[in-house]
A and B are shown apart, each in its own frame.
Chain A
Amino acid sequence: MTNDIDSIFAVLSGVAVLLPLLGAGLWFWLCPRLGEKLTGYAASSFLGISFLCTLILFFKVDSFVQLEFARWISVGPSNLASFSVLLDPLSLALGLVVTGVGALIHIYSVGYMHGDPGFGRFFSYLNLFVVAMLILIWSDNLLGIFLGWEGVGLCSYLLISFWNKDLANAQAGKKAFIVNRIGDFGFLIAMFCLYRAFGTLNIPELLVLVREGGLADWQLEYSLWACLGLVLGAAGKSAQIPLFVWLPDAMAGPTPVSALIHAATMVTAGVYLVCRLQGLFLLHPQVLELVAYMGGATAFFAATIAIFQFDIKKVLAYSTISQLGLMFLAVGLNAPVAAYFHLITHAFFKALLFLGAGSVIHGMHHEQDMRKMGGLRKKMPLSFWTMTIGVLAIAGIPPLSGFVSKDEILLMTKLADRPWLYGLGLATALMTAFYMGRLWFMTFFGRTRSDHEVHESPANMTAVLVVLASLSAVAGVINWPRAWGGSEWLSSYFGDLVYQGSVDSQVSWGSLLMKVGIAVAGLGLAWWKYRAFVGGDDFRSSSFRLFKGKYFIDEIYDFLFVRNLRRAGELCWRVVDQGMIDGSLHLLGRLANSVALRFKRLQTGVLQAYVLWVWIGIIVLLFGAWSLGS
C-alpha cells in the first residue's frame, strides 16, 4: 500500500468481497434464530454495502489500481498468485453489475423463497456466489481468476441442486459442474502453457510481455495452445458450443438463481475472460475468428431450439445461450466494447425476464409450462407490464437497451465484413423476436388454461421487477451511438484498455430500419400465431422433431462420451485390474503354492533320504567349485 488513497481502495474492495463472505458463513446458522425476513434483508443489505463500495471505487479509481492483500500460492521466492485486486474499467463495470443486480435479486428472493426450509442455506450460497464472482472479475492473476471461476461453478452446482430431494435437480447440478470442469481443464492447460511461455500468471505482467513483442516461435506456439484452452474454458462457463448442454438443465435451480447466475453474471465470465486477455488473443487472430464463428453458430442454433420449448424457463435459458453467442461473436470480431455493452444490458433485461417468469411461476404455484398459462395480464398486471418491457428490449425495439446494444454488435459484424456471420446475427434477431413474442402471448394473452388460483406476487418481488424494467429501458444510454446524438460513454470509459477492431462511422438509416423491421416482423409473426393460443402443441408436424429434441445433443454426447467412459471404467476394473493384474498375481501365488507342494514331498522324515540329499549336495558343490576353478 503506497499511500492513503490506495489503502482506502484496499478497504473498499476488501469490504466488498469479505462482507458477503462473512454473510455466507452466517445465514446458514443464523436463519433459524433471526427468522426469514431479517436473514433475507440482512443478506441483501450486505450486498447493498458491497454495491456501494464498488460504486465509490467506480467513481474514484482513476483508470487503474492494482493492490495486493496477501500471498496465496508461492514456491520459495517465486510467487505464483496472490490475493489481489486489479481495478480498472473492465473489472469495475462488471463489479457494479454483479453487486447491483445481485442485491436486487437478493431482495426479490426474500419473497420468492418465503417458507422454504432451506431459506438460510439459500442466502448463504447466494452471498458466497457473489464473493466468488467478485474474486473472478477482480483478481489480477489467472490463478485468482481460476479460484473465482471454480468458486462460481461450485455455487452454481450447490444452487442448481438446491432442492436435492428430487434427484433430477441433483443430476442437473452434477452435470453443470462436470461440463464446467471440462472447460476448467482447458483453463488449467492454458495456465500451464502461459507459465511455460512467459513465466508468470500475473495478467498485467503477461500483457506487457505480449505487447513488447519479440516472442520466439515456441512462445507463440504455447500461447496459441493457451488461447485455445481459454476458449474452451470460456465455452464451458458461458455455455457455448460444444459445452452449452448444462445451462438448460441448470434451470432446475430456484428462479432467482437462474436470473443471477445463469443469466446475468456467471455465464458472462467467459466474455469477461476473453476481453481481459484480449492482448494475448490478438497474437492469434485465427483463435478470435474461431470465437466469432463459435458465438455466431451458438446464437443461431440456440435460438432455433428456444422456439420449440414449452417450459418458460427453458425458453429463457436457450435465449441466454443465444445472447451469449452474440457477445462471443462481438468479442471474436474485436468489438469488446459492444460485447460488454450487450453484457450489461443483457444482465438487466434477462434478469428482469427471469424474475418476471419467476413471479409468474410463483403466482401459478410452481407451474412452468406455458401451455397451462395464458391470460395472466389481468391477474398479474405488474409482472405483465414489466415483462413486456423486457420482451421488447430483448426483441430489439428502439429505444430500449437491448436494441441499442444488439444493434451495435450487428453493426460491428457488418463492418467486419463477415456476411455469413451478419446473416446469422440477423436470423437470430428475427427468431429472438419471434420466440419472445411467443412466450409473451402464450403467458399473458388468450384464455386462462389452468385452474390455479393465480395471484400477483408480493411487493418486494414486484418492486425489483420495476427497478429492473426501468434499467432495461434506459440502459442503452451508457453507450448511445454518437450518430444518434449519444456520447458513447462506455467506449470512452474503456479508452484504450481494449482494442476495437472496426469503428462505427455513421448511421445508416436503411440498415436501422431493416433491424427494427426484423424485430417487428418477429413479434408480428408471434402475434399472428399465438394471439389466441388455446393450448396443445403449436408445432405438430413431425418435421420439427429435430428441433424439439434439441438436436439430440444430449443423447449424442451420452452415446459418444458418457457410455464409452463408463465402458472404459468397467473394462479397466473387470478386465485389467481383476483379470490381468490380479489374475497374474493369483497365478504367481498358485505357482508358489504348487512348487511348495512338490517340495513338501522331500520332507519324508526318513533319515536315510536326508543323508542321500546331503551327499548329492556335496557332490554338486564340489563339482561346481571344480568347474569354476578350472
Chain B
Amino acid sequence: MADSIFLLGLCLIPALSSVITALAPVRGIGKISTVLSGVLFVWALSHWGGADRYFSFPWFEALGLRYSLHLDSYSYLLILLSSLLGLLCSFYASWAVKDKAKAYHSLFHALQASIIACLLAEDLLFFYVFFEAMLIPMFFLIGIWGGKNRLYATMKFFLYTFAGSLFMLIGLLSLYVIYYQQTGEWTASFPVLRDYFSQFPIAFSTEKWIFLSFVLAFAIKVPLFPFHTWLPDAHTEAPTAGSVILAGILLKIGTYGLMRFALPLFPESAMAFATPLCVLSVLGIVVGAIVAWRQVDMKRLIAYSSVSHLGFVTLGIFSMTEIGWNGAYLQMLSHGITTGALFFLVGFIYDQRHSREIEAYGGLAHKAPIFVVFFVVSSLSSVGLPGLNGFVGEFLILLGSFQSVLVDPFWVVVATTGVILSAIYTLHLIQKICYGEVKREAVGVVDFGRREWLLYSPLVLLMFSIGLYPSWVMDSIYETTSLIFSMMPEAVR
C-alpha cells in the first residue's frame, strides 16, 4: 500500500503540478511552480535508502498490458536527480522566463511527469509510450522559448528521436508477438519476457534485429556517434532550463534504456555487437571532444562535450563489465549534475547579455569572480579532475572496459585520450571567457546575487560529495548492477 501511494505520488505530483500551473493565476506563477517542484523533490527524497518498490494495475488484461511500476536504485537515482534539477529549473525559470510563463511551467511539469513515468515503467509498452510522450513537451519548450534557429532545431530533435523510437516499437511488437506465439499468452512485462527469453532464447538471426532496433532508438536518444547531430542544435536553441533537463535527464533515458532493457533482454546479441558499439562510443568520445574545441558558441561547445561524455557512458555499458556499468551509471548522474550546472552557468551569462559567442566575452574573472569560481569548479568536474564527481565514473568506466573480454584494450586507450582532449576544450573555454582583458560583452555582466548562490551551490556540493565519497551513491548502484549481472549468461560474468 505504502509502495503504491509513493509510486503513484511520484507520477501524479508532476502531472497535477502541470494542471495547477496551467490554471493558476499568472502572478506568482514562478513561486507556485517552484513550490510544486519542491514538493516532488521532497517526496522523492523521502524514499532515500529504502528498498525496491512495486506497483501493478491491470489495464488491458486481454492483451496482457498492465500499468506496472518498479522502483530500484537505477530508476530512483535518476528520478531524484530529475526532481532536483526540476526544482532548480523551476526556480531559475521563475525569474528568467517572463514570456508565456504559465504555459512554460505547465509544459515543464508535464515533461517531468513523463520522465518519471518512463523511468518507473516495467511494462515495455508503457515505457515506450512515455519515452515518446517526453518529446511533446520538449518539442514545445524548444519551439516556443528557444533561440533564433529554434524551429529547425526542434523539428530535427523531434523527427530524429521519433523516427528512432519507431524502430524500437517494431522490435518491441515482434518480441510481444514471438512470446505469444511460443506461450499463447500476451505480455509486455519486462521481467517476464527477460526470464522467458533467457531460458528459451530467440534465434540469433532474429534476435539481433530486435536488439538493434532497441539500440537504434536508444543510440539516437543518448546520442551515440554518428546519431548525435540533433543534440548540438537542440541544446543551443533550447531555453536554459530546457538544456539543463535535456542534458541532465533526457539523454540518460537512452543509456537507462540500454542498461534496463536492451542489454538484459538480449545479452547474446549485446556480446556479438560489443566491439562495433564500443568503437562507435570511442569515436563519439574523440570526435565530440575535438569538435567541441572548434566551437564558437558556448552552448554548442558544451553540447559537443556531452557527446564526448556520453561516449564514455556507452563504452562502459557496451563493454559489459560490472565495474564499467557502475561507472557508467555514476557517470550518468555526474554528467547530469555537471552539465546541468554548466548550462545553468551559461544561461546566467546569456540572460544578461544575450550572446553565447565565446569570443565576445573575456576577463569575467575580474567582473564576476564568484561566477568564475563556480564555472571553473564545474568545468573541472567536466574535465574529470579527481576529487570531483566526473572523475569517479570516468575512471571506473575506463578501468572496467579495459578489463573486458569483449573489446580490445586498444580502444580503451583511444578512449582515454579523452582526458587530454577534454582538458583542451574546457580550458580553452575558461581562458576565453574568464581570463584576459574585460571584453565588450563582459563589461555589463553582474556577479552572483543571493538567488544564484541558492541555485548553484547544491550542484557544486554534489560535485564534491560524489567526488570525495562516491560510496554514498555507489553502494546502491552496485546492488542493482550486481542483480542485473547475476541474471546475465555466464559468458558475460
- Which residues of A pack against B, CB within 8 Å? 70-76, 80, 143, 146-147, 150-151, 154, 157, 161, 164-167, 170-171, 174, 177-178, 181-182, 184-185, 188-189, 191-193, 195-196, 565-566, 568-570, 572-573, 576-578, 581-582, 585, 589
Q: Identify 30 residue pairs between A and B in the complex whose beta-carbon atoms are under 8 Å apart, listed by A's number.
A: A73-B392, A73-B470, A75-B326, A76-B326, A147-B386, A151-B385, A164-B435, A165-B366, A165-B435, A166-B436, A167-B436, A178-B424, A182-B420, A184-B419, A184-B420, A185-B420, A188-B398, A188-B419, A192-B399, A192-B403, A195-B399, A195-B403, A566-B293, A569-B293, A573-B291, A577-B229, A581-B229, A582-B229, A585-B160, A585-B229
**Interface window among B62-70, B250-258, B409-417:** B409-417
A181, B471: Cα distance in complex, Å:
26
**With contact pairs A73-B392, A164-B434, A189-B416 given, residues A569 and B294 touching in the complex (Cβ less than 8 Å):** yes
**Cross-chain contact A569 with B385 (CB below 8 angstroms):** no
CB of A195 to closest CB in B, whole Å: 6
**B287 contact set on A, CB distance < 8 A:** 572, 576
**A193 contact set on B, CB distance < 8 A:** 402
**A578 contact set on B, CB distance < 8 A:** 229
Interface residues of B in 172-215 (CB under 8 A from A): none
**Cross-chain contact B416 with A570 (CB below 8 angstroms):** no
Q: Does B86 contact A (CB under 8 A)?
A: no
A147, B468: Cα distance in complex, Å:
10
**Cross-chain contact A71 with B471 (CB below 8 angstroms):** yes
**Cross-chain contact A185 with B416 (CB below 8 angstroms):** yes
Residue of B nearest to A592 (CB): B159
**Cross-chain contact A150 with B427 (CB below 8 angstroms):** no
**A191 contact set on B, CB distance < 8 A:** 399
A62, B364: Cα distance in complex, Å:
52
Q: Does B322 contact A (CB under 8 A)?
A: yes
A167, B294: Cα distance in complex, Å:
19
**Cross-chain contact A154 with B385 (CB below 8 angstroms):** yes
**With contact pairs A170-B436, A188-B419 given, residues A569 and B431 touching in the complex (Cβ less than 8 Å):** no
**With contact pairs A191-B399, A195-B403, A585-B229 given, residues A174 and B431 touching in the complex (Cβ less than 8 Å):** yes
A184, B394: Cα distance in complex, Å:
14
CB of B397 to closest CB in A, whole Å: 11
**Cross-chain contact B387 with A147 (CB below 8 angstroms):** yes
Q: Which of A73, A75, A143, A566 contacts B322 (CB 8 A)?
A: A75
**With contact pairs A161-B435, A576-B287 given, residues A195 and B423 touching in the complex (Cβ less than 8 Å):** no
**Cross-chain contact B363 with A192 (CB below 8 angstroms):** no
**A178 contact set on B, CB distance < 8 A:** 420, 423-424, 427
Q: Which of A164, A166, A185 contacts B417 (CB 8 A)?
A: A185
A70, B468: Cα distance in complex, Å:
10
Q: Which of A74, A76, A161, A188 contacts B416 (CB 8 A)?
A: A188
**With contact pairs A73-B392, A569-B293 given, residues A170 and B423 touching in the complex (Cβ less than 8 Å):** no
**A164 contact set on B, CB distance < 8 A:** 365, 434-436
**Cross-chain contact A185 with B478 (CB below 8 angstroms):** no
CB of A231 to closest CB in B, whole Å: 16
6 nearest interchain CB pairs?
A569-B290, A170-B435, A192-B402, A164-B435, A569-B294, A147-B386
**A570 contact set on B, CB distance < 8 A:** 294
**Cross-chain contact A577 with B468 (CB below 8 angstroms):** no
CB of B485 to closest CB in A, whole Å: 11
**A165 contact set on B, CB distance < 8 A:** 363, 366, 435-437
**Cross-chain contact A171 with B431 (CB below 8 angstroms):** yes
A151, B388: Cα distance in complex, Å:
11
A566, B428: Cα distance in complex, Å:
12
Q: Which of B290, B398, B413, B419 contacts A572 (CB 8 A)?
A: B290
**B322 contact set on A, CB distance < 8 A:** 75-76
A582, B482: Cα distance in complex, Å:
40
CB of B167 to closest CB in A, whole Å: 14
CB of B406 to closest CB in A, whole Å: 14
A59, B155: Cα distance in complex, Å:
71
**A171 contact set on B, CB distance < 8 A:** 431
Q: Does B218 contact A (CB under 8 A)?
A: no
**B412 contact set on A, CB distance < 8 A:** 192
Residue of A nearest to B376 (CB): A158
A191, B323: Cα distance in complex, Å:
14
Known contacts A154-B380, A174-B427, A581-B226; can you find 10 more A-B pairs with CB under 8 A? A75-B326, A75-B478, A76-B482, A161-B435, A164-B365, A181-B420, A185-B419, A191-B399, A565-B293, A578-B229
A162, B287: Cα distance in complex, Å:
32
**B417 contact set on A, CB distance < 8 A:** 185
**A568 contact set on B, CB distance < 8 A:** 290
Q: Does B474 contact A (CB under 8 A)?
A: yes
Residue of A nearest to B401 (CB): A192
Q: Does B396 contact A (CB under 8 A)?
A: yes
**A195 contact set on B, CB distance < 8 A:** 399, 402-403
CB of A35 to closest CB in B, whole Å: 19
Q: Does B469 contact A (CB under 8 A)?
A: yes
A72, B322: Cα distance in complex, Å:
18
A75, B468: Cα distance in complex, Å:
14
Q: Does B395 contact A (CB under 8 A)?
A: yes
A578, B434: Cα distance in complex, Å:
29
Residue of A nearest to B163 (CB): A588
A72, B363: Cα distance in complex, Å:
36
A-contact 0/1 string along B282-300, CB 8 Å cutoff: 0000010011011100000
**Cross-chain contact B482 with A177 (CB below 8 angstroms):** no
**A196 contact set on B, CB distance < 8 A:** 402-403, 409
* Residue from the set A73, A75, A146, A170 with the largest chain B CB neighbour count within 10 Å: A75
**With contact pairs A164-B434, A174-B427 given, residues A75 and B386 touching in the complex (Cβ less than 8 Å):** no
* Residue from the set B156, B365, B436, B474 with the largest chain A CB neighbour count within 10 Å: B436
Residue of A nearest to B482 (CB): A76
**A75 contact set on B, CB distance < 8 A:** 322-323, 326, 396, 474, 478
A371, B465: Cα distance in complex, Å:
52
A188, B436: Cα distance in complex, Å:
33
**Cross-chain contact A566 with B363 (CB below 8 angstroms):** no
CB of B463 to closest CB in A, whole Å: 14
**Cross-chain contact A167 with B423 (CB below 8 angstroms):** no
